[in-house]
């Protein structure tokens, strides 16, 4: 079982507090900055505690958790202020990979079976602060939970009672003690002040774990550098793509040191042939590239990197270095994501810049009720077409339906990226 590093953020009475006790104003954007910091520096997951008191604070906390999920490059778990099934739903719809129920509260104990049946056992974690909270509810936990979050030093006693993975949340700051906790068999992760400290180098701590035979999440290449076929300068070319759209962003080169640094940090690192030095993409501009996947071609002489690109990849400020066209033959781009996005962009432009006689502008002018009426009508047309053996008819009706859905999306400010993120989470 690989051990996860799980920094935590506390949302508390208009405050956001990280696991190291540093306080940040709830609404000043620090939550976003803290999320980016953890995501970019080796965290495997984030643990968010909602300690809000009043309903208004709770709604703001949900909004903050949604923002965290949108920014975070790692899965997010959320705990606190869960009183009914609707709270679980809000957290999952906000983007949380898992929801944590507090088993010191009877209402949360009662919610577990229903939550697991509705959203899946794999999304349910229980939080235990006393051993009796497990022993008194052992069957329901084993049947409906995917893991246990332990707030006190109970992991050793729990190990004898359950095979469920255990996340340990601790105020312990001794590196040796943390290593000892992680060596326990059913401990799957560590959270709390040690791993949440912004002074903690999570990448370096993971390397220390590896030296102590503790398995952790690291980038490890399936093909060793010695097997790569290098050019005359001892370098290998790297083609860089956006992991969401497959857009080719740039071409660069790596030597062995740059390759090792990329694996260690998770940030694309190259060798500059002009400057004859190592460079981390984005170190000066802030336009980092976070590794999602590295592939090698059939001859082992070219790397394909799929990355999360922050900002522009090109030094000119363009998203891609390949922004100039040399020749172009007319063709239909049928890439689904690009087609949907292009149609969406046209609809969005029509709303911003109305054109006389435009059917799209007619719908926007008539308002939400007209748009919803058309969506409903087109949905009915699909049902009717599906009863017809003619495949083309259903193809046309689905196309009409998707167009009207995109008009609705633009009207309500919902983007395709938000939709695809939600589908990917499911």
The domain that holds 40 is classified in CATH as: 3.20.20.70
**Domains: count for the chain:** 3
> Rounded distance, CA 45 to CA 77, Å?
7
Burial of residue 384 (number of CB atoms within 10 Å: 0-12, 13-18, 19+):
exposed
Same domain flag for 204 and 235: no
The domain that holds 270 is classified in CATH as: 3.10.20.810
> Rounded distance, CA 8 to CA 192, Å?
6
Beta bridge partners of 5: 190
> Rounded distance, CA 354 to CA 328, Å?
30
Same domain flag for 38 and 116: yes
Residues 6+ apart with CB under 8 A from 284: none
Residue 141: phi and psi, rounded to 5, are -65, -50
Q: Mapped to the 3 state alphabet, what secondary structure does 128-161 carry?
A: ECCHHHHHCCHHHHHHHCCEEEECCCCHHHHHCC
Say if CB 347 and CB 358 are below 8 A apart: no
Same domain flag for 42 and 169: yes
Assigned domain for 27 exists? yes
3-state secondary structure (DSSP) of residue 247:
coil
CA 111 to chain centre: 26
Say if CB 214 and CB 182 are below 8 A apart: yes
Same domain flag for 163 and 229: no
What pTM was estimated for this model as a whole? 0.76
Burial of residue 426 (number of CB atoms within 10 Å: 0-12, 13-18, 19+):
exposed
Closest CA to 22 of 199, 151, 178: 199
Same domain flag for 12 and 96: yes
Could you list the residue range(s) of the whole structural domain that residue 56 is in?
4-211
Say if CB 150 and CB 167 are below 8 A apart: yes
Assigned domain for 261 exists? yes
Residue 292: phi and psi, rounded to 5, are -110, -35
Same domain flag for 206 and 238: no
Domain boundary among 309, 324, 348: 309
Q: Mapped to the 3 state alphabet, what secondary structure does 226-276 carry?
A: HHCCCCCCCCEEEEEEECCCCCEEEEEEECHHHHHHHHHHCECEEEECCCC
The conformation of residue 58, written as its DSSP 8-state character, comes to: H
Same domain flag for 207 and 236: no
Beta bridge partners of 241: 248, 306
Question: Both tokens of residue 203?
Answer: 């990448």
Q: What is the CA radius of gyration of the chain?
A: 25
By residue count, the chain amounts to: 426
pLDDT values of the chain reduced to their tens digit, one per residue, 426 residues: 899 999 999 886 544 455 544 444 333 347 888 898 898 888 999 999 998 877 788 888 999 999 899 889 899 999 988 999 999 999 999 999 999 999 999 999 999 999 999 999 999 999 999 999 999 999 999 999 999 999 877 888 888 899 999 999 999 999 999 999 999 989 999 999 999 998 998 988 998 999 999 999 888 899 999 999 999 999 999 999 999 888 999 999 999 999 999 998 889 999 999 999 999 999 999 999 999 999 999 999 999 999 999 999 999 999 999 999 999 888 777 788 889 999 999 999 999 999 999 999 999 999 999 999 999 999 999 999 999 888 889 999 999 999 999 999 999 999 998 898 888 776
């Amino acid at each position: 079982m690989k051990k996860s590093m799980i920094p935590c953020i506390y949302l508390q009475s208009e405050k956001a507090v990280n696991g190291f006790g540093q306080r940040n104003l709830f609404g000043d954007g620090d939550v976003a900055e803290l999320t980016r910091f953890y995501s970019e520096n080796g965290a495997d997951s984030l643990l968010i505690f909602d300690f809000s008191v009043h309903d208004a604070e709770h709604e703001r906390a949900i909004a903050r958790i949604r923002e965290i999920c949108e920014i975070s490059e790692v899965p997010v778990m959320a705990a606190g202020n869960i009183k009914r099934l609707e709270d679980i739903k809000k957290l999952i719809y906000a983007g949380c990979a898992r929801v944590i129920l507090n088993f010191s509260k009877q209402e949360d104990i009662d919610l577990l079976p229903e939550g697991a049946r509705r959203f899946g056992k794999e999304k349910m974690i229980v939080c235990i602060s006393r051993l009796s909270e497990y022993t008194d509810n052992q069957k329901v936990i084993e049947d409906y939970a995917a893991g246990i979050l332990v707030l006190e030093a109970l992991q050793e006693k729990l190990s004898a009672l359950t095979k469920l993975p255990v996340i340990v949340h601790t105020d312990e700051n001794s590196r040796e003690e943390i290593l000892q906790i992680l060596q326990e068999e059913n401990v799957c992760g560590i959270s709390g002040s040690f791993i949440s400290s912004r002074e903690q180098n999570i990448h370096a701590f993971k390397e220390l774990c590896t030296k102590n035979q503790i398995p952790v999440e690291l980038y490890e290449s399936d093909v060793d550098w010695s097997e790569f076929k290098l050019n005359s300068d001892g370098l290998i070319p790297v083609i860089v793509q956006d992991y969401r759209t497959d857009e080719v962003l740039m071409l660069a080169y790596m030597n062995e040191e740059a390759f090792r640094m990329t694996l260690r940090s998770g940030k694309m690192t190259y060798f500059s042939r002009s400057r004859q030095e190592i460079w981390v993409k984005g170190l000066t501009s802030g336009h980092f590239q976070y590794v999602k996947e590295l592939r090698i071609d059939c001859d082992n002489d070219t790397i394909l990197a799929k990355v999360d690109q922050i900002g522009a990849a090109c030094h000119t400020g363009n998203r891609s270095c390949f922004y100039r066209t040399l020749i172009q033959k007319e063709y239909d781009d049928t890439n689904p994501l690009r087609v949907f996005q292009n149609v969406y962009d046209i609809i969005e432009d029509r709303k911003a810049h109305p054109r006389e006689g435009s059917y799209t502008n007619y719908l926007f002018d008539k308002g939400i009720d007209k748009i919803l009426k058309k969506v409903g009508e087109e949905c009915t047309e699909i049902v009717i077409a599906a009863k017809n053996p003619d495949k083309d008819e259903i193809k046309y009706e689905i196309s009409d339906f998707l167009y009207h859905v995109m008009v609705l999306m633009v009207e309500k400010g919902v983007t395709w990226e938000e939709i695809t993120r939600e589908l990917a989470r499911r």
